[in-house]
């Protein structure tokens, strides 16, 4: 059983479209991060959210932490081919255990 | 600051052999974690070391072991390699004990034939 479930698992969209990726859990997390990984490389940290309801923006990317700190979402506006990659959420639960999500593979078609 | 480095980047081994992978964390980071990534299983946590002590361990057989040195550099060893051990092995370092933000190296691609 995965503690952090991401949806969708795969996403293929046209350049310029918007998309949202979800990261859900039944457990409460004290902090949650989003990473992007390109083929053959290690994941790169995009953002950390720690407060329930928190919203952070990174250019065209908007990250939100759920009010109950059990879920998070990543919204990309006007996707570009450079956004292609594997998006991973990860979090630390209240027991200080660290988990990675199941991953969402995004392909943006020019 | 220099990032996390891993050596070697690519490795081909034969079933039954053993292998040692190396990781140098970001300067000042005392936590080093190891992950195995495969297309079918995703990113799986192997273990974490902090100040030379294994602090957390994932659900992997005893063939997978690691250690951390006083300079925070870490090594991971896999003995009696199996075909299923073929994967990208990622090392990550962390400088925080609260949010556990992970900074990853480029990984070592291990192929077992």
Mean pLDDT of chain B: 93
- The Cα B85–Cα B102 span in angstroms is 23
pLDDT at A20: 98
Q: Lowest mean pLDDT: which of A29-33, A52-56, A92-96, B8-12?
A: A92-96
B61: Cβ contacts below 8 Å, ≥ 6 apart:
none
Average pLDDT of span B43-53: 92
Cα distance from B3 to chain A (closest Cα, Å)? 11
- Laid out side by side, the sheet with B5-7 consists of B5-7, B19-24, B74-78, B64-68
B40: Cβ contacts below 8 Å, ≥ 6 apart:
none
pLDDT at B85: 97
Give the chain B residue nearest A98 (alpha carbons).
B100
pLDDT at B83: 97
Residue-wise pLDDT for B50-77, tens only, equals 999 998 888 899 999 999 999 999 999 9
Average pLDDT of span A63-75: 96
Residue-wise pLDDT for B72-90, tens only, equals 999 999 999 999 999 999 9
Length of chain B in terms of residues written: 113
Residue B45 to residue A100, Cβ atoms within 8 A: yes
Q: Looking at chain B, which runs of residues are DSSP E strands?
A: 5-7, 10-13, 19-24, 31-38, 42-50, 53-57, 64-68, 74-78, 87-94, 103-104, 108-112
> Which of B43, B103, B106 is the closest to A41 by Cβ?
B106
DSSP conformation class of A4 = S
DSSP conformation class of B84 = G
A6: alpha, beta or left, given left = phi > 0 and alpha = psi -120 to 50? beta
Average pLDDT of span B44-55: 92
Q: Which chain B residues have any C-beta within 8 angstroms of a chain A C-beta?
A: 4, 33, 35, 42-43, 45, 48, 56, 88, 90, 92, 98-107, 109
Query: Which residue in this structure is represented by tokens 């991401």?
Result: A6
């Amino acid at each position: 059983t995965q503690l952090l479930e991401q949806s969708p698992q795969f996403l293929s969209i046209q350049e310029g479209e918007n998309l949202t990726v979800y990261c859900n859990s039944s457990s409460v997390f004290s902090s949650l991060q989003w990473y992007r990984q390109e083929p053959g490389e290690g994941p790169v940290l995009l953002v950390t959210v720690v407060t329930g309801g928190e919203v952070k923006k990174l250019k065209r990317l908007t990250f939100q932490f759920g009010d109950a700190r059990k879920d998070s979402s990543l919204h990309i506006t006007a996707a570009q081919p450079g956004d292609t990659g594997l998006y991973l959420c990860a979090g630390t639960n209240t027991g200080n255990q660290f988990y990675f999500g199941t991953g969402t593979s995004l392909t943006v078609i020019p | 600051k220099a990032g996390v480095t891993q050596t070697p980047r690519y490795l081909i081994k034969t079933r039954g052999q053993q292998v040692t992978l190396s990781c140098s964390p970001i300067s000042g980071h005392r936590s080093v974690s190891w992950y195995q990534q495969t297309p079918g299983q995703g990113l799986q946590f192997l273990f974490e070391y902090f100040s030379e002590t294994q602090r957390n361990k994932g659900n992997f057989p005893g063939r997978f072991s690691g250690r951390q040195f006083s300079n925070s550099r870490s090594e991971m060893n896999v003995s009696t390699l199996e075909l299923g051990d073929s994967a990208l092995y990622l090392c990550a370092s962390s400088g925080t004990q609260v949010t556990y933000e992970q900074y990853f190296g480029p990984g070592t691609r291990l192929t077992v034939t």
